[in-house]
Structure 1
Amino acid sequence: MTTFTPLLPHKAQLGECPRYDERTQILYWVDITAPAIHAYNTLDNTHTVYATHEHVGCFALHEQGGFIAGMRSGIWYLDAQAKPIKKLADNPTDNSITRFNDGRADAKGRFWLGTVDEDKSQSVAAFYCFDGKQLTQFKSGLLTSNGVAFSPDNQYLYHSDTPRFTIYRHAFNLEEGTIDEGETFLSMPREIYGTGRPDGAAVDSEGYYWSALFEGNAIIRVSPAGEIVATYPIDVKCPTMCAFGGENLDILYVTSASIGRSQEELLQFPDSGKLFSMKVPVKGCLDYRCTFKL
């Protein structure tokens, strides 16, 4: 069986948001709490770190270059070296207890992203869409907004609330930039699945949803019917997000976390925090870029 292997010796505190740029063949990802955007050049195997001015939860590439980043204080336009150029929208909630977390661009170039309630006590996190002018809220009462992905035909938007062990599916109107109230796509109760809960995700070309199970040591592949059809173990307790990349989009890249983990766990899983890759038997989908005027 093919297995995940670490790509680099670097260990992130809270690695997240791997994103493959097919034009340059660079894989980008963030370290949220040691705030930076990382770049791994798959052509020459070089690794570059671009420090950011505050916690960065997610980003999308922009058609004109640079990054549209969901950060602690709001949504920012960063240049190609992650330097802040312009703040585009404020974090609507108290950024001493929330920050932007997971996000992804849609096929019309909008940016869908959500926040995290950092102490998990008030359910103050929410899920939004930013069209370049306005930040519109679509869901509230969340703990950790996560797992944003679109079906290949753009009929559905997937979204998870990690501490609630649940993945949701929403009917998606691409032209209008709206979603419906949604339905439970996959519930993962502890008594059946243990502590593993759905974190960041990606969708493959066949419409299957791949989710990293935080505290679950695995990546799962979920069918469009909401059934787990494959489980891929990974040698870290806390994988955080997956992304397809490589020349044929058949390499699955996975970020992971080391922050807040016990010494016992870090001894058991010494590669915690590293970036991993594995060739998979299906191709992924290219990520969209933001296209709104800056």
Structure 2
Amino acid sequence: MRYQVKNVLAAQAELGECPVWSVREQALYFVDILAPALHRFDPQSGEHKIMPVPEHIGCFGLNEQGGFVAALRSGVCLLDEEGIITRRVAANPGEAAFSRFNDGRVDRHGRFWCGSLWEPQDRNGGKLCRLDEHLRLTVEAEDIKISNGLAFSPDDKWMYHTDTPNGVLYRYPVDDKGDIGPREVIRHFVQEQGGLPDGAAVDCEGFYWSAMFDGSRVIRLNPVTGEIVDEIPLPVRWPTMVAFGGPDLKTLYITSSREDRSAEELAAYPQSGDVFAVEVAVAGLPEPLFRQA
């Protein structure tokens, strides 16, 4: 299938990440981790709202009670509709001076999962955490350098997760309580052979769509065999994450980065940091809402 990729928002984000489609609002939310800010984009009107936050914001979820649950550098917080912190609920379980939260999402049981990265990258110091309905944060997995690519199978039996610099896609069995079993390797990636797996989403057929950082593409992958069954070439080298949106959830939104890029690199890829959209044949799944007890 030939895809037409459109630049829908010239955000020029330093590190655009975590696109989340609100079915209720028919709007796309995403973050610029390093700005730091939460963004809202209405594709119909073109309205773009930027809500600054006081520290690095790695990921967030839409809250059933309104506003957001978000993983900031210092820990997990609840934010109101304007992105203002209303409650700090859990501290970063790592060393906040050397680690920050990164990729994450809400599962279909209403729990918020958030992973962290180890900034020195001299060891696997990242963690994968879960926030339950009682606002208790627990560390569920470690031995990670940069936590990324968190997504769940349509039947909720598997959780997918990538470690970007280590170039690996895992899956974990997961039960209704959110307890995960031993991880399995689905696929290893080599940066020089098409990039490394970053943020991701799963479609209604259970296939895994991954933004390939430093690879100028998004891939659709069989989550059992690891086979790449489709890909979308992009006009940027550093895509970061994908999200399904639009009225039929067949619009794939893609965020991107311009972090730490030279003037020469940005001249070659001037749209770096922008948000892109492409129509795909298979719909995604509605993004769940975080539920508090």
TM bucket normalised to smaller: over 0.9
Measured against aligned partners, the alpha-carbon deviations of 1:13-48 in whole angstroms (never above 9, x if no partner) come to: 000000000001010000000000000012311100
After superposition, residues 206-225 of structure 1 pair within 5 angstroms as 206-225=205-224
Give the equivalent residue in structure 1 for 2:273.
273
| 1:159 to 2:158 alignment | no
Contact 2:41–2:47 (CA under 8 A) maintained in structure 1: yes
Q: Write the distance in 1 (CA, Å) between the matches of 2:223 and 2:164.
A: 19
Give unpaired runs (5+ residues) of structure 2: none
Residues matched between the structures, number? 290
TM-score between the two structures when normalised by the length of structure 1: 0.96
Runs of 4+, deviation exceeding 6 Å: none
Give the equivalent residue in structure 2 for 1:285.
285
CA deviation after TM superposition for structure 1 residue 135, in Å: 1.4
Give the equivalent residue in structure 2 for 1:201.
200
Measured against aligned partners, the alpha-carbon deviations of 1:50-87 in whole angstroms (never above 9, x if no partner) come to: 01111100000000100100110000000001001000
Measured against aligned partners, the alpha-carbon deviations of 1:207-246 in whole angstroms (never above 9, x if no partner) come to: 0000001101000000133210011110101000000000
SS of 2:174's equivalent in the other structure is strand
Give the equivalent residue in structure 2 for 1:36.
37
SS of 2:9's equivalent in the other structure is coil
Give the equivalent residue in structure 2 for 1:133.
135
Q: Write the distance in 2 (CA, Å) between the matches of 1:94 and 1:65.
A: 30
TM-score between the two structures when normalised by the length of structure 2: 0.97
| 1:247 to 2:223 alignment | no
CA deviation after TM superposition for structure 1 residue 176, in Å: 1.6
SS of 2:89's equivalent in the other structure is strand
SS of 1:265's equivalent in the other structure is helix
Contact 2:191–2:215 (CA under 8 A) maintained in structure 1: no
Contact 1:66–1:80 (CA under 8 A) maintained in structure 2: yes
Q: Write the distance in 2 (CA, Å) between the matches of 1:229 and 1:198.
A: 15
Q: Write the distance in 2 (CA, Å) between the matches of 1:229 and 1:82.
A: 38
Give unpaired runs (5+ residues) of structure 1: none
Q: Write the distance in 1 (CA, Å) between the matches of 2:197 and 2:266.
A: 21
Q: Write the distance in 1 (CA, Å) between the matches of 2:123 and 2:169.
A: 20
CA deviation after TM superposition for structure 1 residue 93, in Å: 1.3
